[in-house]
Amino acid sequence: MPSMESPTAANWKHSFLYLGFLYSLLCFLHNQISHNLLIGHRPVRVKKTSPDLPLRFRSDGTFKILQVADMHYGNGALTRCRDVLDSEFEHCSDLNTSRFLKRMIEAEKPDFIAFTGDNIFGSSSVDAAESLFRAFGPAIESGLPWAAILGNHDQESTMNREELMSFISLMDYSVSQINPSAEDFSDLARGSRKKIDGFGNYDLRVYGAPGSHLANSSILNLFFLDSGDRETVQGVRTYGWIKESQLDWLHGISQGYQDKPPALAFFHIPIPEVRQLWYKKIVGQFQEAVACSSVNSGVLQTLVSMRDVKAVFMGHDHNNDFCGDLENIWFCYGGGFGYHGYGKAGWRRRARVILAELGKGEKGWTGVERIKTWKRLDNDKLSKIDEQLLWEY
């Protein structure tokens, strides 16, 4: 007669089998989680941030911005240039755009880089993320803080506008934001709307020089706005525009300051009033029609009423690089930067530089005293042209 297994021995056997199952399950989960946390067999790393944050003026009382408009980056070495002379380059691709950006960073040594849209040319980009890494690569390699807004072509690849701004905000050394921060909204008057159109509306504050009595005060604001891409109005296609919700937010932020510092604004698509500058004195070249929206949403009126924005910096129309005065606010084009974007054969790609300078009093550095700008051409000497004073206290 076979021996009967005692209840105690059976329980131990079942417990052992159960513990063995749990151990195997834990090992399986551990391996799966570890595998999912590896990209290309490397651990996921935390975004790098600049040691120069928050943004602030240098000890010499200056703050320099490099504006990069319309890189139109595609797929790197495989993406050919447009509108260049055969005599200019033996071979020309997106790499010429990268080389120009590196040269500008080395020559001007900016404190901050502002990319004002059409950073990638979506229809030429196989993978938006890869194109963004390549386009912003020189800025990331420099370790400088930088920010970007979108143009009307960025979203034509594999990401929509929200995904693009989310991705850009997570890139190394980027201080870009998807939309206004909670801190910004807390500054608004009670009852102001919190839903805002677009992606890439934010305010960056620049603080006083280290060691000065304004070292912990915001003395220059940088407003970034999403001007959209394409819209249909009464059955007709037109370019996007800055919406009422964005202007409400912008006006609210401006009004939230007791001692309102000067500000600069950055967006991609020019406003309709820029067309009026054809009939006014300008600094630079007006070589193509202003491609703006058929809708005038009141951007100029809002900026005038705020009384703090001294200059606006735009892109979109690559063959325009001028600055012109509208209602005591300068509107300046960056000029086409990227070689895959359209241009004008024989007319060099270019970049704009903006320099803010502090005043000096008995206690040392004070607030912003003047704002200047100039451009550099992508030639052997990085020729400096059209230097001008935009604003003086």
User: Is residue 224 a contact partner of residue 263, using CB atoms and an 8 Å limit?
Assistant: no
Q: Is the predicted pLDDT of residue 21 greater than 60, yes or no?
A: yes
- Band (pLDDT 50/70/90 cuts) for residue 6 is low
Question: Once rounded to an integer, what is the mean pLDDT over residues 11-15?
Answer: 59
pLDDT tens for each residue of 262-315: 999 999 999 999 999 999 999 999 999 999 999 999 999 999 999 999 999 999
pLDDT tens for each residue of 45-71: 788 998 889 999 999 999 999 999 999
Question: Once rounded to an integer, what is the mean pLDDT over residues 249-256?
Answer: 95
pLDDT score of 283: 98
| pTM of the predicted structure, to 2 decimals | 0.87
Question: Once rounded to an integer, what is the mean pLDDT over residues 321-326?
Answer: 98
Q: Is the predicted pLDDT of residue 186 greater than 70, yes or no?
A: no
pLDDT score of 166: 97
Q: Which residues pair with 360 in a beta bridge?
A: 365
Please list, residue by residue across 266-290, b when 16 or more beta carbons sit within 10 angstroms of its beta carbon and e when fewer do.
bbbbbbbbbeebeeeebbbbbeeeb
- Band (pLDDT 50/70/90 cuts) for residue 190 is very low
pLDDT tens for each residue of 97-150: 999 999 999 999 999 999 999 999 988 999 999 999 999 999 999 999 999 999
pLDDT score of 191: 43
- Band (pLDDT 50/70/90 cuts) for residue 254 is very high
- Band (pLDDT 50/70/90 cuts) for residue 20 is low
Domain over 62-392 is classified CATH 3.60.21.10: yes
Give helix 94-108 / helix 128-135 axis angle, nearest 10°.
40
pLDDT tens for each residue of 218-240: 999 999 999 999 999 999 999 99
User: Is residue 176 a contact partner of residue 148, using CB atoms and an 8 Å limit?
Assistant: yes
Which tops the pLDDT comparison, 196 or 33?
196
The domain spans of the chain are: 62-392
Mean pLDDT of the chain: 90
